[in-house]
Structure 1
Amino acid sequence: MGLLTAATVVLLVCIACLLSITAWRRKSGKGKMPPGPSPLPILGTMMQVKPKDLANTLRKVSAGIIFSNNKEWLEVRRFALTTLRNFGMGKRSIEQRIQEESEHLLEEINKTNGAPFDPTFMLSSAVSNIICSIIFGKRYDYQDKKFLALLANMNSIAKMMNSHWGQLYQMFSKIMDYLPGPHNKIFTEFDVLKAFVSEEVKIHQASLDPSSPQDFIDCFLSKMQEEKENPNSSFHMENLITSAFDLFIAGTETTSTTVRYGLLLLLKHPKIQEKVQEEIDRVIGRSRRPCVADRTQMPYTDAVVHEIQRFIALVPLALPHTVIKDTNFREYIIPKGTTIFPVISSVLYDKKEFPNPNEFNPEHFLKENGTFRKSDLFMPFSAGKRICPGEGLARMEIFLLVATILQNFTLKSVVDPQELDITPTLSGTTNIPRAYQLCALPR
């Protein structure tokens, strides 16, 4: 018993010393970091962070999560950004592909005949097909078994990443790699999706025409051929599969979730929905489909779309950024090599820029005369060199899908709008709306 007591005392002293050293380093020299929780030995900041509401917890304690990047990532990312921006693939532009898929979405909504339905599947199918068209050069029928399995796979990945186990893995990956648990299943799901991409790559290799690339995979394969003599090229098969995988899963879940959350907010605020439809009828009418050029003539609809993205703060923690040199931040110093995790929701909910930020109000993006008001603090796609490469695509999709749906249907809640719960059901790496149903009444 005496030895056990002595060992306990020694352990407590060691912990106290470690905490004292940590506190001292935070207040001196390069260790003078911005305020945040003091990490405990082994446990780190686990006791201070609440996985159930990770975004708000980190917004309060200013904590960060460590990730890495490299030269290959930078080159491939730059290629993806340029390809998506220019999109010199085939004869159809991104806008045309979105408009074509919107028609299929309208057909599916029409099949409900005004009866209540959950829009999750339809929206995921539509957005996923837009991504499929861009990356793979084709779309799938909404009832295609292969396509359904793909959607189920991505839904499973999204849920795992936002679960307690998924969040713990992202915070303590070096430890969790050696521990059993549900978090290990996500790698199986990743393998299934990568196998699907690999199969598509093989099909593209057999029919590739470098002079006329039809999609993202064709462009990447052509780049691989250009650099085949370069032993240090970043354009190889592994990076092709990984980059296509990343674009596919990120481009599907984020955009479809944004639109789904947006429709829920419009159900909650029917008067806002009415004002959007009035603007659609005045600017576009009913005889043609909405196009990107309409956006500049529709300040209220544009403001609603912006407010949807601001209010839901879909990815509240954004992506990790690495400090490339010792950086002065207010009265603190962030050492070179530190990886920081920007809390984007703190900017989207800035009280000075957006009065009453917890309220859904399109006026946040409108001037007194009714014209659109830009804001430098609107950054739902992150900021800096790691801003989402698919921002342009996502902005087009959200505007065109919302405008097309409201042009053709009036959305009604199956319960009193005041009873709708618009708080996210998962608030970890992504804010996910609660399940709901709506009725789409033809206009």
Structure 2
Amino acid sequence: MRRFTLTTLRNFGMGKKRIEEGIQEEAEYLLKQFHGTKGQPFDPRHLITYATFNVICSIIFGKRYGYDNKMFQTFIALLVENSEIFASIWGKLFNAFSALMEWVPGPHQRMIPNYAKCREFVLEEAQEHRATLDPNSPRDFIDCFFIRMDQEKHGEASEFTMENMVACCIDLFTAGTETTSATLQYGLLILQKYPEIEEKVQEEIDHVVGRSRMPSMADRGQMPYTDAVVHEIQRFIAFASMIVPRATVKDTLFRGYIIPKGTMILPVLISALHDDKEFPNPKEFDPGHFLNEDGTFRKSDYFMPFSAGKRICTGEGLARMELFLFFTSILQNFKLKPITDPKDIDATPLPKPTGRFPRPYKFCVIPR
């Protein structure tokens, strides 16, 4: 499933011009929503989540939804609720002792009904795709999955089933929305705390991009400071400080130690992202961590917010593109105005087991 998914995402332009244009289009819709706040305080959480969700929708379903679409809003709310329940003590107990917990009242009782509703949403879209499928011209991820299903329909051991299609789609939505959305929200909060950094980014945007067109990925090479700020946001927040467990497939020699075959491994990414030798004062937000003395961008092998190795995040290329384009589009068009003194903004993460999320906040955006 992973190999098929990665190949399909790449075929549909992950990290390429086709997806870039889709993100730019979605950024325009997001900017319209920001303009609609008319300089009044608002919570950006839902708008940013809808924008990142629509990017995944364009890949899976071949279309986007209006932010006021009730079915769209409900689907997102169900996925978010399940993610939060799963990460809670109720979810952990349900996962470990499912037979027992079926008889215990609590929020975990909503997880399976929520998943069933999400499944219906995906299946409804899939049925529309099946009715209009052209095997010679796949439009999106679901079309590609159907084509592969038809190719393997006589294979008894085929993994390409409707259940796996639904599971893959929901996994892509869950993994591809919340992480990027939270990083964008966190980044906008941090930039309110450091208005001098926001100002330098906007100066670079004005110099390289101007105001008459949307930022593009081709601009990134000429915007080392902005690129450094985006990298520093990811490094500083270390959203996935510890990722899902892995296991060694053979006895492995690592730094003089033998790790036996089958040993569970818990990669702690924050140990690299906050390494004080590579990043002096790692708990301080400093774009200089990714800048050379001459102002050019500095790469670091310790920058691994998407994990590393063969099991690195499938959507890394997509996420990198979204973060750069959404950030630059917002800062190109708006000045961020906090509703409290910047010195009083709390940039420490909420203690959630699924990631390092920003604390809820409201702010104003003022057209530039």
Normalised-by-shorter TM-score class: over 0.9
Q: Following the alignment from structure 1 to structure 2, what is the Cα–Cα distance between the partners of residues 424 and 177?
A: 34
Please state how far the C-alpha of 1:236 moved relative to its aligned partner. 1.8
Q: Is the 8 A contact 1:424 1:434 kept in 2?
A: yes
In the alignment, does 2:332 pair up with 1:407? yes
Deviations 1:222-253 (A, max 9, x none): 11122223222222212111111100121111
1:259-298 maps to which residues of 2 (within 5 A)?
259-298=184-223
- SS of the equivalent of 2:336 reads strand
Please state how far the C-alpha of 1:273 moved relative to its aligned partner. 0.4
Q: Following the alignment from structure 1 to structure 2, what is the Cα–Cα distance between the partners of residues 124 and 226?
A: 36
Task: Report what 2:96 is aligned to.
Answer: 174
Q: Is the 8 A contact 2:224 2:295 kept in 1?
A: yes
Q: Following the alignment from structure 1 to structure 2, what is the Cα–Cα distance between the partners of residues 275 and 240?
A: 45
- SS of the equivalent of 1:233 reads coil
Match among 43, 47, 63 for residue 122 of structure 1: 47
Q: Is the 8 A contact 2:20 2:321 kept in 1?
A: yes
In the alignment, does 2:233 pair up with 1:308? yes
Q: Is the 8 A contact 1:85 1:392 kept in 2?
A: no
Deviations 1:329-359 (A, max 9, x none): 3343322112212111111111111111101
Which structure has the greater CA radius of gyration?
A: 1
- SS of the equivalent of 1:440 reads strand
Q: Following the alignment from structure 2 to structure 1, what is the Cα–Cα distance between the partners of residues 270 and 109?
A: 29
- SS of the equivalent of 2:97 reads helix
**Structure 2 counterpart of 1:174, which letter?**
A
Unaligned runs of 5+ in 2: none
Q: Following the alignment from structure 2 to structure 1, what is the Cα–Cα distance between the partners of residues 109 and 258?
A: 37
Q: Following the alignment from structure 2 to structure 1, what is the Cα–Cα distance between the partners of residues 62 and 108?
A: 33
Q: Is the 8 A contact 1:127 1:256 kept in 2?
A: yes
- SS of the equivalent of 1:412 reads strand
Please state how far the C-alpha of 1:432 moved relative to its aligned partner. 1.1
Residues paired across the two proteins, number:
364
Task: Report what 1:430 is aligned to.
Answer: 355
Q: Following the alignment from structure 2 to structure 1, what is the Cα–Cα distance between the partners of residues 125 and 263?
A: 38
Please state how far the C-alpha of 1:182 moved relative to its aligned partner. 2.9
Deviates more, 1:262-271 or 1:313-322: 313-322
Task: Report what 2:164 is aligned to.
Answer: 239
Q: Following the alignment from structure 2 to structure 1, what is the Cα–Cα distance between the partners of residues 263 and 58?
A: 38
Task: Report what 1:330 is aligned to.
Answer: 255
Q: Is the 8 A contact 1:295 1:302 kept in 2?
A: yes
Please state how far the C-alpha of 1:163 moved relative to its aligned partner. 2.7
Deviations 1:373-406 (A, max 9, x none): 1111111111122111111111100100000000
> RMSD of aligned C-alpha atoms?
1.8
Q: Following the alignment from structure 1 to structure 2, what is the Cα–Cα distance between the partners of residues 397 and 178?
A: 42
Deviations 1:93-151 (A, max 9, x none): 11111011111101100000011100001101111111111111111111111111122
Query: Kindly tell me: are residues 305 and 177 of structure 1, through their superposed partners in 2, closer, same or farther at Cα, counting changes over 3 Å?
Result: farther
- SS of the equivalent of 2:337 reads strand
Q: Is the 8 A contact 1:319 1:386 kept in 2?
A: no
In the alignment, does 2:176 pair up with 1:251? yes
Unaligned runs of 5+ in 1: 1-75
Q: Following the alignment from structure 2 to structure 1, what is the Cα–Cα distance between the partners of residues 218 and 82?
A: 35
Task: Report what 2:146 is aligned to.
Answer: 221
Task: Report what 2:128 is aligned to.
Answer: 203
